[in-house]
Amino acid sequence: MKCFKAYDIRGRVPDELNADIAYRIGRAFARTVGDGEVVVGYDIRLDSPTFAAEVARGLADEGRQVIDIGLCGTEEVYFQTAYRGVAGGIMVTASHNPIDYNGMKLVREDARPISGDTGLRDIERMVEENAFDEPGPARGAVRTDHDKSAYIAHLLSYIDVAALRPLKIVVNAGNGGAGAIVDLLETHLPFTFVRVNHEPDGTFPNGIPNPLLPENRDATAKAVVASGADMGIAWDGDFDRCFLFDAQGGFIEGYYIVGLLAAQLLEKHPGSKIIHDPRLTWNTVDMVAAAGGIAVESKTGHAFIKERMRSEDAVYGGEMSAHHYFRDFAYCDSGMIPWLLVAERIGKTGTSLTDMLVERMAAYPCSGEINFRVDEAPATVARIVAHYKAAAESIENIDGVSMSFGTWRFNLRSSNTEPLLRLNVEARGDARLMEARTADLRSLIGGTSA
């Protein structure tokens, strides 16, 4: 089925994903995970409550007890699944996909991800076959529990509230679900929040919430400058990612936040392991080593990062795409914990976000991720490798191809979720070199920018 992807479920409504498929997914999920209750939550898309209700009905028809946690973020399903010790959780969300899409993210006990290698293909097969019996008399029940107090308390446990300074912070929920959590946190924090696109609205009156797209950053950047804020934060729709802006309204590449958070977590947990992805690495490896930690490279993608974090017992994992994972958060990603930690660091050091990162950004300038649509992705990658192979000091194939040349390096990989090639380039202290090599690679790759 087209809506079943490598890590989750996402498809166009109604031809690829609809209420009937949602019901079948609920039934198949119940047959895949262990015994116990199942948590169900949903995002702000207009059809998400209906899909969640159908998932819950399918679970109940399989005899499962369902906990409906209502409108929430993906990380709340992760948290509630682990915190309550239940059999699994289902989040109905399409995050930053177009308005006519929806989807689901599935986890089993302890919020362990269910992906293509860990049960998602079995669920897909059962949904396709649709060989479910009529519901028996031992039908489960659905109970509503929208209490977020344990989740809020857990978020606050990552920081020393007494060390916080009274910052002014722009918060842009993108009309997604993050605003409600900001409101609940506000009573515990000494911050003044400047709210932008704050109210949840599944019609997306200000565009799909995806701050990775440059055209979606302007509202946050302008609000930071206009209000004289200390920093800005923007989230995607299900707020499992957060994106930071400095006091000048400048967008901070997620790559540099990975190193910053790694160093901060290592202060709290000395000598720990840090997981990072292979797209951009030098700054992270440098900062982890300086902080006395151990950097471990993992294939890109939440299922791979989480699995590696568990096997290494890593305290933190970060991807340049603004996914940040925490051992005490069931090894899951959160869009709330990162900005709280950064705000704590500002308070404790008395420095700005710009001051924290300006030297790091100069030491390891990067291109940011550049996407290309090409006709033959494998052939394009092979052609690039052949072109650079003789000059490369090292070649890695952990995820796509990473080639290092001493003073600069690049990673080129096919997307796991879209028909794209993704390019990242970085250099050692030489922005012009990085820009020149990026231009060379753009020309060699060809295709069209996406």
What 3 state SS string does the chain have? CCCECCCCEEEECCCCCCHHHHHHHHHHHHHHCCCCCEEEEECCCCCHHHHHHHHHHHHHHCCCCEEEEEECCHHHHHHHHHHHCCCEEEEECCCCCCCCEEEEEEEEHHHCECCCCCCHHHHHHHHHHCCCCCCCCCCCCEEECCCCHHHHHHHHCCCCHHHCCCCEEEEECCCCCHHHHHHHHHCCCCCEEEEECCCCCCCCCCCCCCCCCHHHCHHHHHHHHHHCCCEEEEECCCCCCEEEECCCCCECCHHHHHHHHHHHHHHHCCCCEEEECCCCCHHHHHHHHHCCCEEEECCCCHHHHHHHHHHHCCCEEECCCCCEEEHHHCCEECCCHHHHHHHHHHHHHCCCHHHHHHHHHHHCCECCCEEEECCCHHHHHHHHHHHHHHHCCEEECCCCEEEECCCEEEEEEECCCCCCEEEEEEECCCHHHHHHHHHHHHHHHCCEEC
Q: Which residues are part of the catalytic machinery?
A: 95
